[in-house]
Chain A
Amino acid sequence: MKRRTFLAGLAAVPVAGCGLSGTSNTSSSASGQVTGEITFQTWSLKPKYTDYVNGVVDAFQKQHQGTTVKWVDQPADGYLAKVMADASAGSLPDVINVPPDLSFPLAKAGQLVDLDESLKDARPEYLENAWQAFEIPGRGGCYGFPWYLNTGPIFYNKALFQQAGLDPDKPPTNFKELEATALKLAEKKVAILGQTPSIADFGLYGVKLFDNDKFTFNEPKGVEFVETYKRMYDAGALIPEALTQNYTGAGAKFMAQQTAMNAGSAYDLGKFKTDAPSLYANIGITTPITNTGSANMFLHGVSVPKSSKNQATALAFGRFLTSAENQVAFAKLASIFPSTSKGGDDPYFTTEDGTDEARVRVAAAKQLKTAVNYTPVQFSDQMREALLQQLADAMLGKKSPKQALDDAVAECNRLLK
């Protein structure tokens, strides 16, 4: 699942303009005075969450007299290009909204402040799995305040299950059952899935993704997983577009009732209600399909670049923004979950009120306690594309699952260097 799309439709880059100059990593003090002006950049939060963010900014400025936070919201489209251009020029905003896979290359290039070093007492305030998501594996250090999290149930279309003669109240709970269900649905010309597996799906299957600084998802279990998908694809259990589809595209196919199952989030439920009422009337909600017992988790964070001239203020603001209180308030607005160790105790996340939304929310909050961000932080966009292409070749029979995975791993390891 593509984590960049899970909030409010948070939904790529020309070559010219990158110079040979490199970037400067001038470091101001992280322990200086909290004062002065900083720029805070978010990822597509306007206009839906304008009031919320302005409220947080006002509260911070009131708490720290003499500070000014200039909020800049960038649209989802072109966000990566903007971060890339700023990073290349060494002019990143003081506080920047980034998911782990974006923070990783910046941290690896030495452009981000290490929170483990600058704010030694911050770690306990956050969920351990969320904090770890912003670490560089094998090197230590944390390069982003975990901000909002999400995980989700699996949605399925009860009407399509019934149409294929399946019990709509018995959805598959593991990958073996998924294949059996998929093959039965395919007999009735109903496709179950709208995309080939993502790297996180390999993780959910129990495949070892990364070990000793190398990708390892071509291990026998990985091959077994792709063989499962190949059988489903050959039977017609995946739509033809699955070979080129990302998470957003697969979601659209599910909404159009062209597929019977899709991974989603509490946010999606609201979308079904307003944008696909006939689907909503038949929606089934079940736990994520996993062989590991842990669901997948997606998260966003905020990082402070070393180039910030006002690091102390930037760090204070990042911590303030991601505090339990502020995250809970945000979560209540945006169908997301706090990454703080305390925020999840709020009754909003533990008490059901009889609505589907509350049921999904409570289940997801519970799920988050053991959830894992399966996608390795090293897994870049180019790697995602390489995996998608190799899986397509495997599904089409141009390569064996083993060969396709070997090629995907070889390309990912090459890109890792």
Chain B
Amino acid sequence: MTHRPYTPWLFLAPGLAICLLFVIFPFFNMIVLAFTDASALGGGQFTGVDNFVRMAGDPKFWAAARNSLLYMVGVVPPLVLLPLLIAMLAQKVVPGIGIFRTAFFTPVIASTVVVGLIWTWLLDSRGLVNSVVEALGGTRIGFLTDSTLLLISSMVVTVWRGLGYYMVIYLAALANVPKDLHEAAMVDGAGPVRRFWSVTVPSLRPTMVLVAALSAVNGFRVFSEIYLLSGGTGGPGGASTTLVMLIQSVGRGLTGEVGYASALSVVLFVILLGLLLITLKLNRREDQL
């Protein structure tokens, strides 16, 4: 058979074209725009680092960055631990386990808007949760009207939505944990808790680092949950606005400040890149140990 060197490129071309058009070009365009005062309708003038100087003195940017950071810190631990525990339960072969696995995976495939609406109805001041609180003699809780509680409520939704996805990753990793390690530990008299900490966790450490990295990146660039629970406002006074919400708010519409929004996007990209590099380094260190 004749080997034509361009054949692999022919197969790659459609994917590469899409990637170039919709990822690479917009990415470089964003970097260029970050140094301009472009608007949705105007080409914009080169303004040097003005957008970044403005950002440094913009309280909205700092508040949004703080909220994104808090969000990340809030969602990573439960998203690393809870799916692991669920995966350990879900890997058991018992009748009806399929229903259990499906139930946990459903939020992953459910429409974000539907999920947002359901949680809004649950957490509204007259919603189901507050009705129960009132019935039990408590006073209504402002889950969606207090900026701190709104952030926490959104974190709960993110964790709830992420459980199934990370559970699947853990299920795949758990299947690769050698059974003989568990058997050897059992022979040595280790109970389930000891086996979890001494066998399961060390075997899954690279997967846990991966889950931590993915959930940290997703947590830092959260948008949908806060957007939907706050009705697109970022909570009272916009106090729960996250970095991605701020980018959307600054850049949207015909009067959007596209240059400044791009500069914010560049900063977000740098932060996320930093996060991933740290994770990569941690992972390498794990491998070397």
Contact = CB atoms under 8 A, between A and B. Distances in A.
B41 A239 contact: no
A18 B33 contact: yes
B231 A245 contact: yes
Interface in B227-275: 230-238, 247-258, 261-262, 265
A239 B40 CA distance: 36
Contact of A244 (B38, B44, B231, B252): B231
Interface string B1-42: 000000000000000000000000011011011001010111
A229 to B, nearest CB: 14
A243 B237 contact: yes
A105 B254 contact: yes
B29 A19 contact: yes
Contacts of A388: 233
Contact of A382 (B235, B237, B255): B255
A200 B234 CA distance: 22
Contact of A15 (B41, B43, B254, B265): B265
B236 A13 contact: no
Interface in A61-116: 80-81, 83-84, 87-88, 102, 105-106, 109, 111
B284 interface: no
A25 B107 CA distance: 47
B139 to A, nearest CB: 12
A47 interface: no
A286 B234 CA distance: 34
A240 B142 contact: yes
A18 B38 contact: yes
B126 interface: yes
A80 B237 contact: no
B148 interface: no
Nearest to A245: B231
Contacts of B253: 12-13, 80, 84, 380-382
Interface residues of B, number: 43
B41 A392 contact: no
A385 B29 CA distance: 27
Contacts of A249: 231
A380 B255 contact: yes
B232 A12 contact: yes
Contacts of A83: 254
A381 B237 contact: no
A84 B247 CA distance: 16
Q: Of A15, A20, A380, which is in contact with the most chain B CB atoms at under 10 Å from its CB?
A: A15
Contacts of A396: 236-237
Contacts of A393: 236-237
A239 B250 CA distance: 28
A87 B41 contact: yes
Given A87-B40, A256-B126, A382 B233 contact: no
Interface string A244-273: 111001000000101000000000000000
B283 to A, nearest CB: 30
Nearest to B125: A240
Contacts of A80: 252-254
Contacts of A20: 29, 32-33, 36, 38, 43-44
B117 to A, nearest CB: 11
Given A246-B231, A392-B237, A88 B40 contact: yes
Contacts of A106: 41, 254
Given A241-B145, A244-B145, A244-B233, 8 more contacts: A16-B26, A18-B29, A20-B38, A240-B142, A382-B253, A382-B255, A382-B256, A385-B238
6 contacts: A13-B40, A16-B29, A20-B38, A23-B41, A244-B233, A389-B238
10 cross-chain pairs, A with B, having the tightest CB-CB distances, nearest first: A16-B26, A22-B43, A13-B252, A240-B145, A105-B254, A380-B255, A243-B236, A109-B41, A392-B237, A392-B236
